[in-house]
């Protein structure tokens, strides 16, 4: 196994960091790594905003609720971005562009472009011995994050990434068995595999060193899905020009 695959397989989300801000050079390298990811039709449909301002960090912390939004080596926010495609474009041409700018296909594409870049950033950070954690929780109040970042039309926050020197060493969290995730040639129903995984995960939760509980993966999902969350994202996206047709 080479060291890159070792880094990838060794991933665990880090939620507690030492008080050491990332060097400018490190940030530059992480952005460079992010940008080298593949991008659909050369669109590079994302922007990355680094937060250094303490007041903004506090506001974002209020949205997310997670302490590692406030305390980290650096906080990145990945945004879907088609704004720069409209630079220097006539009003008439912009009207023509709207069918694409505003359809579901292009929302998905920007989310994918942004995530590919983000994962390059994550792996690059981990390869340097840094830790990281994604922050979907910034979408708890997506309009507020938009306001904090002062985002124009056709730009929307996707998620954050907290990066820094790890101050914890959590256990690796089990993943679904390969048989539940990888199929050949067509989709295969895998209810039995999930049932077996629930038994395994229930042992994991009962025996781990902290935050022990009785739980299964399916129960966890059921609880999560039964409580509607972030229903305002739809309306927010429409306001920004996304996902309207």
C-beta separation of 133 from 13 below 8 A: yes
Strand partners, 166: 17
Under rule CB under 8 A, residue 199 binds a copy of itself = no
Checking phi first, is residue 220 left (phi over 0); if not, alpha (psi -120 to 50) or beta?
alpha
Question: Cβ of residue 189: shortest distance to a copy of itself, in angstroms?
Answer: 7
Residues contacting 192, CB < 8 A, separation 6+: none
Closer by beta carbon to a copy of itself, 36 or else 203:
36
Distance CA 61, CA 84 (A): 28
Tell me how far apart the terminal alpha carbons of the chain are, to the nearest angstrom. 46
Under rule CB under 8 A, residue 36 binds a copy of itself = yes
Total residues at interface with a copy of itself (CB under 8 A): 113
Residues in region 130-189 near a copy of itself by CB under 8 A: 133-134, 136, 139, 148-152, 155, 158-159, 173, 175-176, 178, 180-187, 189
Total Cβ atoms within 10 A of residue 46: 25
Distance CA 189, CA 22 (A): 45
Closer by beta carbon to a copy of itself, 37 or else 167:
37
Under rule CB under 8 A, residue 206 binds a copy of itself = no
Report the relative pairing of strands 74-81 and 131-135 from DSSP bridges. Answer: unpaired
Question: Cβ of residue 20: shortest distance to a copy of itself, in angstroms?
Answer: 18
Residues in region 103-132 near a copy of itself by CB under 8 A: 103-105, 107-109, 111-112, 114-116, 118-120, 122-124, 127-128
C-beta separation of 139 from 235 below 8 A: no
Q: Which of 131, 163, 237, 241 binds a copy of itself (CB under 8 A)?
A: 237
Closer by beta carbon to a copy of itself, 34 or else 71:
34
Under rule CB under 8 A, residue 217 binds a copy of itself = yes
Question: Cβ of residue 186: shortest distance to a copy of itself, in angstroms?
Answer: 4
- DSSP SS3 for 20: coil
Question: Cβ of residue 30: shortest distance to a copy of itself, in angstroms?
Answer: 9
Q: What is the DSSP string of 118-150?
A: HHHHHHHHHHTT-EEEEEGGGGGGHHHHHHHHT
Residues in region 73-102 near a copy of itself by CB under 8 A: 79, 84-85, 87-89, 93, 96-97, 99-101
């Amino acid at each position: 196994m080479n060291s890159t695959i070792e880094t990838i397989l060794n991933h665990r989300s880090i939620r507690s960091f030492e008080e050491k801000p990332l060097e400018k050079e490190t940030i530059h390298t992480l952005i460079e790594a992010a940008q080298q990811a593949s991008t659909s039709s050369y669109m590079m449909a994302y922007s990355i905003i680094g937060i250094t301002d303490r007041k903004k960090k506090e506001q974002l912390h209020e949205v997310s609720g997670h302490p590692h939004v406030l305390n980290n080596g650096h906080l990145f926010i990945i945004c879907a971005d088609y704004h720069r495609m409209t630079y220097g474009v006539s009003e008439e041409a912009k009207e023509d562009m709207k069918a694409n700018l505003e359809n579901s296909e292009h929302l998905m594409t920007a989310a994918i472009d942004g995530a590919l870049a983000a994962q390059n950033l994550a792996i690059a950070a981990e390869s340097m011995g840094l830790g990281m954690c994604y922050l979907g929780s910034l979408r708890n109040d997506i309009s507020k994050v938009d306001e904090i970042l002062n985002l124009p039309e056709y730009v929307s926050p996707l998620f954050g990434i907290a990066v820094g020197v790890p101050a914890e060493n959590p256990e690796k969290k089990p993943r679904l068995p390969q048989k539940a995730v990888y199929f050949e040639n067509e989709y295969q129903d895998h209810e039995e595999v999930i049932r077996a995984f629930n038994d395994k995960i229930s042992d994991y939760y009962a025996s781990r060193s902290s935050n022990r509980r009785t739980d299964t993966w399916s129960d966890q999902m059921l609880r999560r899905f039964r409580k509607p969350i972030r229903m305002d994202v739809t309306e927010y996206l429409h306001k920004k020009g996304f996902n309207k047709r």
